């Protein structure tokens, strides 16, 4: 006892050491949560970057293939019609895989993208069947090419 009254002991549950331990534990949890969020975001960013890289390569293949196939009909041309067709098939497969990855959240865009792919594929098939001399088909194919490339962008 003191001259001013009885000495009051701090409650055992509220000691400063326990507050410090609780604060340190909470800080560790927060740092762990932030680290986990960073890892998830980093993985999503890497996946998006890879997806965009594949889409960019498909656009390049589409353009190169279209150029090769268009200019490769002349026997004196340095371009190869067969190489162009192969690049176009490769680009269409890449676009179809990309459309499949868009998922249900972008169902409308996916459907438009698939239609562009199918339209270009049908026109390309007609063009490969020997209707290369038809100017209206050539124009339609170029329009479909541009539309598909714009959808992929």
For the four alpha carbons of 137, 142, 143 and 145, in that order, the dihedral sign comes to positive
Longest Cα–Cα distance of the chain, Å, equals 114
For the four alpha carbons of 76, 88, 149 and 55, in that order, the dihedral sign comes to negative
The token pair at 138 is: 């050539």
For 5, the 3-state DSSP assignment is strand
Q: At what angle do helices 107-128 and 81-101 cross, to 10 degrees?
A: 160
Distances (CA, A) of 77 to 68, 74, 81, 85, 138: 10, 5, 10, 15, 19
Residue 77 has pLDDT above 80, yes or no: no
Segment 14-63, tens digit of pLDDT: 688 888 999 999 999 999 999 999 999 999 999 888 888 888 888 888 88
The token pair at 59 is: 């656009």
The pLDDT value given to residue 132:
62
Q: Which of 61, 64, 62 is nearest to 80 (CA)?
A: 64
Q: For the full predicted model, state whether its pTM sits above 0.85.
A: no
Q: How far apart are CA 87 and CA 74, in angstroms?
A: 18
């Amino acid at each position: 006892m003191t001259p001013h009254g009885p000495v009051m002991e701090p409650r055992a549950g509220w000691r400063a050491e326990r507050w410090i331990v609780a604060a340190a534990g909470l800080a560790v949890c927060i740092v762990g949560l932030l680290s986990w969020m960073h890892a998830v975001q980093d993985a999503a960013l890497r996946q998006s970057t890879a997806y965009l890289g594949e889409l960019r390569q498909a656009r390049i293949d589409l353009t190169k293939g279209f150029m090769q196939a268009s200019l490769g009909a002349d026997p004196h041309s340095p371009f190869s019609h067969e190489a162009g067709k192969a690049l176009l098939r490769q680009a269409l497969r890449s676009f179809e895989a990309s459309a499949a990855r868009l998922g249900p959240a972008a169902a409308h865009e996916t459907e438009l993208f698939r239609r562009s792919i199918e339209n270009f594929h049908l026109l390309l098939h007609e063009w490969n069947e020997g209707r290369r001399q038809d100017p209206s088909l050539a124009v339609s194919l170029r329009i479909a090419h541009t539309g598909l490339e714009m959808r992929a962008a």
